[in-house]
């Protein structure tokens, strides 16, 4: 059995798809491709299977002659930051917003950079070789790697985020943090308290199984209630590895990644810090973001779904801000990956600096009603090759004209076709979505078997 990289690393069911044997081979493969010049760093979120997968990866890394620095439970952006500071490769064990049964591995090249397609393909090739043949010429004796616990990793990350604000404070603001029982549970409260905010914390008692369970960025119900009940200025909900955040305004309204990018883009432009006068987002961005930026003469650079594509565009065009509707936001002057905690602090920084509430700030962007449905079919690849389906999609796009948008794509993380429609009204969006879902099912040979 082998694995392939999706839009954000490798994921699967722990101990079924992500077996210890396969994780050991993945560790070996990573060293063969990325080298052992610097010790690999390895962090994880709070999932029950994290320590098992970590042990297997460390075994593989050391078996190929790499030393390993064990960081413990940390957010993905903390691992990327420490890799950048130490100019080291790194691995993060997490399945992000998935439930606890799943796990995954995100691999960073030296310096905390996301892997290129070429490097991913090389690791996949090495993994296939290792799982289908015996290991040859393995290091022995003093050439075998060793692992060591990295002392103070969490403190280093906390200091980095706090120092990013150059002395600016969040005094006078009250915030509720939903840590999703994930990797943010220790550092997020410490960071916001250090910045001067009054902090209330929920879902910060991980037990290995409650990560993302009715909490965090994928379920903000409890956070919305907590913000309203406490009279807080805002709420921030992190996913399992804290590389994304969803904000809640003072009335309990959800502020997603598109709205946060709009807020930050306008703020950066006013400060003269929006390099290139452009923002990077994905094809899933709400049409309202494009309209908002156009009104301010800011270009929206559109890329495929996945934060690594956002990062590539930021680097290629030397831009300052990019992200995704899901809450992956990247401030390239401060970080080399999405950071939910840093993003949340930046949003509150704008609230305090402008003396505007989060509800007022998010009003700069008027969201178009958006319907997103995942359609499981028998033959995914047949959908985009079907002429009748493509004709239906073109007809829908003609009907919407400039007043909406339809997007159909194959998921990079799940065996489904994603159908997304934006229109002036919810009713219209739902009607058009129904048309496209029916066309997808016809083209894909009907619903996939659930047996």
Distance between CA atoms of residues 156 and 39, nearest Å: 18
Distance between CA atoms of residues 130 and 301, nearest Å: 40
Distance between CA atoms of residues 145 and 142, nearest Å: 8
Q: State how beta strands 102-109 and 90-93 pair.
A: antiparallel
Residue 387 annotated in active site: no
Q: At what angle do helices 287-295 and 257-271 cross, to 10 degrees?
A: 10
Q: What is the pLDDT along the chain (451 residues), one digit of tens a residue?
A: 567 777 678 999 999 999 999 999 999 999 999 999 999 999 999 999 999 999 999 999 999 999 999 999 999 999 999 999 999 999 999 999 999 999 999 999 999 988 988 999 999 999 998 888 766 678 999 999 999 999 999 999 999 999 999 999 999 999 999 999 999 999 999 999 999 999 999 999 999 999 999 999 999 999 999 999 999 999 999 999 999 999 999 999 999 999 999 999 999 999 999 999 999 999 889 999 999 999 999 999 999 888 889 999 999 999 999 999 999 999 999 998 999 999 999 999 999 999 999 999 999 999 999 899 999 988 888 898 999 999 999 999 988 887 888 999 887 667 789 999 999 899 999 999 999 999 999 998 888 776 5
Question: What burial letters (b/e) apply to 287-320, b meaning 16+ CB within 10 Å?
Answer: bbbbebbeeeebebbebebbbbbbbbbbeeeebb
Q: Which helix (H) or strand (E) holds 299?
A: strand 299-303
Q: Set out the domains of the chain in order of their start, with CATH numbers.
A: 10-151 (3.40.120.10), 156-253 (3.40.120.10), 255-337 (3.40.120.10), 370-443 (3.30.310.50)
Q: Which helix (H) or strand (E) holds 278?
A: strand 278-282
Of these residues, 96, 217, 326, 362, which one is catalytic? 96
Distance between CA atoms of residues 168 and 150, nearest Å: 29
Radius of gyration over alpha carbons of the chain, in Å? 22
What's the predicted TM-score (pTM) here? 0.90
Per-residue 3-state assignment (H helix, E strand, C coil) for 32-58: HHHCCCCCEEEEECCCCCHHHHHHHHH
């Amino acid at each position: 059995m082998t694995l392939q990289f999706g839009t954000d690393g490798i994921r699967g069911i722990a101990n079924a798809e992500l077996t210890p044997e396969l994780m050991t081979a993945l560790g070996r493969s990573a060293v063969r491709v990325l080298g052992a010049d610097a010790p690999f760093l390895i962090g994880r979120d709070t999932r029950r299977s994290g320590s098992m997968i970590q042990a297997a990866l460390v075994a593989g890394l050391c078996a190929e002659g790499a030393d390993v620095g064990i960081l413990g439970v940390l957010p993905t952006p903390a691992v990327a930051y420490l890799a950048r500071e130490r100019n080291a490769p790194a691995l993060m064990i997490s399945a992000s917003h998935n439930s606890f049964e799943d796990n995954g591995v995100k691999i960073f090249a030296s310096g905390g950079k996301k892997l290129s397609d070429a490097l991913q393909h090389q690791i996949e090739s090495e993994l296939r070789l290792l799982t289908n043949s015996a290991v040859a010429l393995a290091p022995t004796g003093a050439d075998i790697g060793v692992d060591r616990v990295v002392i103070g990793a969490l403190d280093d990350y906390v200091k980095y985020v706090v120092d990013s604000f150059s002395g600016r404070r969040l005094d006078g603001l009250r915030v509720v943090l939903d840590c999703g029982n994930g990797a943010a549970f220790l550092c997020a409260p410490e960071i916001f308290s250090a910045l001067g905010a009054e902090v209330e914390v929920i879902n910060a008692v991980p037990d290995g199984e409650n990560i993302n369970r009715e909490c965090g960025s994928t379920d903000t119900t409890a956070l919305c209630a907590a913000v309203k009940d406490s009279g807080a200025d805002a709420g921030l909900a992190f996913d399992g590895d804290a590389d994304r955040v969803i904000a809640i305004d003072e009335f309990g309204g959800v502020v997603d990644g598109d709205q946060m990018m709009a807020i930050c883009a306008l703020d950066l432009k006013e400060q003269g810090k929006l390099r290139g006068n452009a923002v990077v987002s994905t094809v899933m961005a709400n049409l309202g973001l494009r309209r908002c930026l156009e009104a301010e003469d800011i270009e929206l650079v559109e890329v495929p779904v996945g934060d690594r594509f956002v990062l590539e565009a930021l680097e290629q065009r030397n831009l300052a801000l990019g992200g995704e509707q899901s809450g992956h936001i990247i401030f390239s002057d401060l970080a080399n990956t999405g950071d939910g905690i840093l993003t949340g602090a930046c949003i509150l920084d704008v609230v305090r600096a402008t003396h505007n509430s989060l509800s007022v700030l998010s009003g700069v962007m008027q969201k178009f009603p958006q319907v997103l449905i995942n359609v499981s079919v028998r033959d995914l690849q047949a959908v985009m090759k079907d002429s009748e389906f493509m004709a239906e999609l073109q007809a829908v796009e003609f009907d919407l004209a400039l007043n909406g948008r339809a997007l159909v794509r194959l998921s990079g993380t799940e065996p489904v076709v994603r159908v997304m429609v934006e229109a002036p009204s919810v009713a219209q969006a739902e009607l058009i979505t129904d048309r496209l879902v029916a066309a997808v099912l016809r083209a894909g040979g009907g619903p996939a078997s659930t047996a």
